[in-house]
Amino acid sequence: MTDLIQLLINGLAIGSVYALAAIGFVIVYSATGVVNFAAGQFVMFGTFAGVAMLLNAQLPWPVGYGAALLAMALFGALFFVVLYLPLRASPVVTIIIGTVAIGITMQNAALLAFGSWPFRLPSPVESVNLTIAGATISGHAVAVVIVTALMVALLWLLFFRTSLGIGMRAVAQDIKAARLMGLKVNRLLALSWILAALLAGIAGLMLGPMWFADTSMGDPIALKAFAATIIGGFGSLPGAIVGGLFVGLSEVLGASYVSSAYKDLISFGIMILFLLVRPQGVFGERIQDRG
């Protein structure tokens, strides 16, 4: 029982990170139609922004986290200008290959800057340990779940209670109509990329203390985020959260109860099953047949 509680909390913590990465991916997809294969590298950049600010520059953690997130926001804006603007009229596959190409550049740029030796990113609450029903739970895991819940609440407020967020949803729904209504479409699109980069940054900063910070960590995260989006439903924010938590839990529980070698096969198997039986996922977009 104590094992189970521990596993559940750890699964929820890693699942929260996947959920945040998946939310960033979904925001960009629904606003701009871009399937961002560099989404995992965004998270990796987030972790390494943390490494740069907290370990290399030795900033105290509130300043370091702020600086890291600022860097991520700038990076999101840069990505919008360098990749999205030139390629926005291209076919889906060209954009997919473009994000993959940028992802290769990002990973190798990080490798050049930080080397292949993994870092250990500290957590501000790492000395805190909680005991619940005899199970020892790391404070960081609990903090991750709380921060994710807060972020989801903030996102909900942004999208449903501010004119900025409503504008972003309008652009996601129909760009032409939004432009005709006088919305500054490009600015809102750029904001979607910045928001995605910020969420990836938060995911990366929280992931750093759980995994080792390694420049090749991006690809596995991207795959988990894809599985989460498919299971939850492509283009759906609640779906990304449910999918992310599901993938995290299935990974942690699968590793200890089924087989640690095949733990990833569980989430991908379920992802393919969903694609076959219910491709719109749990909460997903209605799939149209564009004939």
Partner 1 sequence: MSIRVPLLVGAVILIAGLTLSMLLTDYHLRLLNLAALSAIAVIGLNFAFGYAGLISLGHAAFVGAGAYGVALLTTLFAWSPWLALPAAVAGTAVLAMLIGVPLLRLKGHYLALATLGFNVSFSIVAANWIEVTGGTNGISRIPELQIAGHALTDERSYLWFALLVLAVSAAVAALIHGSRHGRAMIAVRDDETASSMTGIDVPRVKLAAFVLSSVYAAVAGGLFAFHMRFISPEDFGYAHSITYLAMLVVGGEGSIVGAILGALLVTFLPEWLRFLGSAYLAFFGLFVLAILIFLPSGLAGIRRPRSFRRHGLMKWPALVAASKEARP
Q: Which residues are near partner 1 by CB under 8 A?
A: 35, 37, 83, 86-87, 90-94, 96-98, 100-106, 108-109, 111-112, 219, 223, 226-227, 230, 234, 261-262, 264-265, 268-269, 271-272, 275-276, 279, 287, 289, 291
Which is closer to partner 1, CB of 37 or CB of 119?
A: 37
| Shorter beta-carbon distance to partner 1: residue 127 or 216 | 216
Which residue lies nearer to partner 1 by CB, 14 or 271? Answer: 271
- 105 contacts: CB under 8 Å, gap ≥ 6: none
Q: What is the nearest approach in angstroms of partner 1 to the Cβ of residue 291? A: 3
Minimum distance of partner 1 from residue 101's CB (angstroms) = 4
In the complex, least distance from residue 93 CB atom to partner 1, rounded to whole angstroms: 6
Between 13 and 14, name the residue whose CB sits nearer to partner 1. 14
Considering the complex, state which of residue 73 and residue 96 has its C-beta at the smaller distance from partner 1: 96
**Shortest reach from residue 103's CB to partner 1, in Å:** 7
CB of 108 to partner 1, least distance (A): 4
